[in-house]
Structure 1
Amino acid sequence: MLNPQAILGHDLSKKHITSISELLYYFPSICPENITELDREWRTLRRTNFNFDETETPSVDKFWWHISKLKKGDGSAMFPLLSTLTRKLLCLPHSTATVERLFSSINVMKTKLRNKLSTTTIKGTLHTKSEIKNCFEFNVTNDHLKKFNKNMYDFNQNKDETENQEDSQIENEIAAS
């Protein structure tokens, strides 16, 4: 239902989906209050002509990011409720295996002796573990060395800077793709 192929009509077997209310039945906790307006947005989306052809249909996340950026003539979002709903749906894990692996990693890190690890430290350790598989092949740059100073222990300052950098990095990656 969230697949661009079905929305754009390239997958004719899914073309019969005319209302999004069927989906909302299964996710009542993320359902917006104004279902009628959401359904109107869905129907408008289905009638909107996009400049994608069958060979260049974008991935699901890029497609919905593009949809969330569409504006009406007055500058307001064209599909605000639908964009919010799809973001919530796309955040749901497809299986519990990934979540279980993550909690297992946290339990290995956070023992009785190390129970006061901050969320920032745990997050950093998890990122390091996932990104750097082999420490012997990791190349340390001058930029890395510059970051190792007394300021790296100022958690409140680093937390705000890190969150802002991560947000802008994610937006840049999505926009570039």
Structure 2
Amino acid sequence: MDAISAIRRRCIDFNVKLAKEIQQRLPTNYTVLELMSRLAPETILRQGKDNSISELAKELGYNASDIDKILNQWHNICFVQWKNTNDVIKFWNEVDEYRSAAGINDFGELVDLAISSLTLPHSNAGIEKIFSVMNIVKTKLWNRMAGPLLNAIIFIRNRLKVTDVKCYNYELPSDVIAAIGKNTKYSYKNQVQPATSSASVSASSTVESVNYDDEVIEDITFDLDF
């Protein structure tokens, strides 16, 4: 019986500790952020809504004047006939493009609140994916890769994935092809080269002028590491 009581006590202590750890990892304002569900079309188009949306506006740093405008627009938005009421993104795009007879968007502050709320990052999963891609691109053999090149490669990889385009059949725009080999595309010639280790021997070679497409590239410096 003593062993059974000890096991039960340890289980209770474990669950209490687990609950405390979970509470510490939750943001203190999560109850306010739950109000973002009020921005759904089926909710915002109801009549007789309360003023709880003002708590979300306060959490995002809106001043009293803007909150008054948001509340006014919050109660008046249901009097307009909207088309895209089944999709949150399409609905707020329609509200953003809305113009009155005077050419004014009567729901500007409310749209700004909705966009600010719905674009908040709710997890770090996207950042973790970027770090994973960075570890794949910048390996031990490519450890001297500079930040601009690394950023460009990651951007291109993600863009190709989003647009569902393969690198072997991607067509470069004509203006990009026309700019290849021109002086304006070589903007790193005056930057300081990264330092090499003491075990490496660096041999620098300078080309005074090279003609590309009637454009002159001067002072091209490169390092050869052995």
Under a length normalisation based on structure 2, what TM-score does the superposition of the two structures give? Answer: 0.50
Offset of 1:65 from its aligned partner?
0.5
Query: Does 1:42 find its partner at 2:70?
Result: no
User: 1:2 — aligned with what?
Assistant: 39
Report the RMSD for the aligned CA atoms in angstroms: 3.4
How many residue pairs get aligned? The number is: 141
Higher relative contact order (CA 8 A, sep 6+): 1
User: 2:159 — aligned with what?
Assistant: 127
Instruction: Give yes or no for contact 1:32–1:81 (8 Å, CA) kept in 2.
Output: no
Greater per-residue helix proportion: 1
* Whole-angstrom distance in 1 between the partners of 2:75 and 2:138: 48
**1:7-156 map, 5 Å:** 7-9=44-46, 17-19=49-51, 20-25=53-58, 27-29=59-61, 31-32=62-63, 34-46=66-78, 48-52=79-83, 57-110=85-138, 112-118=143-149, 119-132=151-164, 140=169, 143-144=171-172, 149=177, 151-152=179-180
Q: Secondary structure at the match of 1:86?
A: helix
* Whole-angstrom distance in 1 between the partners of 2:109 and 2:173: 45
Offset of 1:96 from its aligned partner?
2.3
Larger radius of gyration: 2
Residue segments in structure 1 that go unaligned for 5+ positions in a row: 10-14, 157-177
**Once the two structures are superposed, what CA deviation does each residue of 1:49-80 show, in whole Å capped at 9, x if it has no partner?**
4255xxx7331010000011111221111111
**Once the two structures are superposed, what CA deviation does each residue of 1:94-121 show, in whole Å capped at 9, x if it has no partner?**
3322332123323543564112324444
Structure 1 residues 107 and 35: alpha-carbon distance in aligned structure 2, compared to 1, 3 A threshold: farther
* Whole-angstrom distance in 2 between the partners of 1:58 and 1:152: 46
Instruction: Give yes or no for contact 2:133–2:154 (8 Å, CA) kept in 1.
Output: no
Structure 1 residues 145 and 74: alpha-carbon distance in aligned structure 2, compared to 1, 3 A threshold: closer
Once the two structures are aligned, what percentage of the paired residues are identical? 23
Residue segments in structure 2 that go unaligned for 5+ positions in a row: 1-37, 187-226
Greater per-residue strand proportion: 2
Which 4+ residue blocks in structure 1 deviate beyond 6 angstroms?
none
Q: Secondary structure at the match of 1:105?
A: helix
Instruction: Give yes or no for contact 1:8–1:50 (8 Å, CA) kept in 2.
Output: no
